[in-house]
Copies of this chain bind each other. A is one copy, B any other.
Amino acid sequence: MHTLNVDLGARSYPIHIGAGLIDCAERIAPHLRTRKAAIVTNEVVGPLYLERLCTGLARAGIEAIPIILPDGETHKEWQTLNTIFDALLRGRCERSTTLIALGGGVVGDIAGFAAACYQRGMPFIQVPTTLLAQVDSSVGGKTAINHPQGKNMIGAFYQPRLVLADTATLATLPEREFSAGLAEVIKYGLIRDTGFFDWLEQNIDALRTLDAGALAWAIERSCRNKAEIVAADETEQGERALLNLGHTFGHAIETGLGYGQWLHGEAVAAGTMMAAELSRRLGWIGDGEIARIERLLKRAGLPTQGPALGAPRYLELMAYDKKVEAGKLRFVLLRGIGQAVMTGDVEMGDVSAAIEARCQ
């Protein structure tokens, strides 16, 4: 097991990474304030891992209240959030009761937001079971639900007390979801870690065949990058926004097609190519970099072209992006592999051209 720390002063917390951690309730127990925990999961992950988690907790004398959500991004909304609140009240959960999120990014985002709001905030633990959640969404305290007009539009910055990433759970992850997680792994290489990008070019096949050593290393390096950025800029006043490489375009794809059509990581991959193409048009990177990025994403099993919504529709959807400031869109772009920057100084004609160049 490897342990990293997210350094946020009094709200610092550990990330444990290792195979079989889901059975190690003794890692969770010290973080609980009472002998009761609510576990939010979904109808796909629940049958696989809920019993094992509950068994361990019971052994530690902790009563677990399971809350099973429907599966999928379409359910990341008010109604599902309310079913969590209803279940917490029914189970007599108090503001000192801990809520555990067991699942992927959708479960973590909505359960985290529920924890942030229930009785104005209850303790919260992340047990991510997808690659995307283990390398990205479970770390850093971003929680949210979607609004019909904008992805992650309603939410809170609310940090967990612990992240417990069991790498063995990735064995049950559908290949498409695993690839989607790789989009966020590759992102760290692109925005700030050239060495990691080089390593990924050497090891992407090993990752896709779930080589345990490669997997553990990639997850740890991703979490280390994420933890450093979050510690430096918890509420995204600056540097943290770089983590949104490909996300402005990607959110437009997700919202435009309707939530759940493309996986988040797939939309981010296509969005990353759009951001790279826009960077190329500004003369910041060349054809060589474009080719390397595209090749790695393809080898990861990811799309490198977005759906054909038309550039005007993309721009319309992007106007609701959270990075808009004074009516102006801001973009995370690349000055090289491993060097992302934020800029608002972009001609809309170039943005449209970049989108068109990267649409099916």
Q: How many A residues touch B, CB cutoff 8 Å? A: 34
Q: Which of B89, B150, B155, B327 contacts A150 (CB 8 A)?
A: B89
Q: Is A4's CB within 8 Å of the partner chain B?
A: no
CA distance A155 to B158 in the complex (A): 13
Q: Apart from A89-B147, A89-B153, list 9 A-B contacts with CB within 8 A.
A: A78-B78, A89-B150, A94-B324, A94-B327, A96-B325, A117-B156, A119-B153, A119-B322, A120-B155
Near B by CB (< 8 A), chain A positions 105-151 give 116-121, 142, 144, 147, 149-150
> Which residues on the B side are within 8 Å of A262 (C-beta)?
none
CA distance A148 to B100 in the complex (A): 24
Please give me the 10 A-B residue pairs with the lowest Cβ-Cβ distance, nearest first. A119-B322, A120-B155, A117-B154, A89-B149, A94-B324, A95-B322, A120-B157, A120-B156, A96-B325, A34-B326
**How far, in Å, is A247 (CB) from chain B's closest CB?**
14
Q: Are A82 and B89 in contact (CB under 8 A)?
A: no
CA distance A117 to B114 in the complex (A): 12
23 contacts between A and B (CB under 8 A): A78-B82, A85-B153, A89-B150, A89-B320, A92-B319, A92-B320, A92-B324, A94-B325, A94-B327, A96-B325, A116-B156, A117-B154, A118-B153, A118-B154, A119-B153, A119-B155, A120-B144, A120-B155, A120-B157, A120-B235, A121-B156, A121-B157, A121-B235
Near B by CB (< 8 A), chain A positions 81-104 give 82, 85, 89, 92, 94-96
> Which residues on the B side are within 8 Å of A96 (C-beta)?
325-326
> Which residues on the B side are within 8 Å of A118 (C-beta)?
153-154
CA distance A78 to B81 in the complex (A): 11
Q: Which of B94, B120, B150, B235 contacts A142 (CB 8 A)?
A: B120
CA distance A319 to B89 in the complex (A): 10
Scoring A78, A149, A153 by chain B CB atoms within 10 A of each residue's CB, the highest score goes to A153
Q: Are B154 and A156 in contact (CB under 8 A)?
A: no
**How far, in Å, is A234 (CB) from chain B's closest CB?**
11
> Which residues on the B side are within 8 Å of A150 (C-beta)?
89
Mask for A214-243, Cβ within 8 A of B = 1, else 0? Answer: 000000000000000000000100000000
CA distance A4 to B85 in the complex (A): 37
Q: Which of B34, B85, B152 contacts A154 (CB 8 A)?
A: B85
> Which residues on the B side are within 8 Å of A235 (C-beta)?
120-121
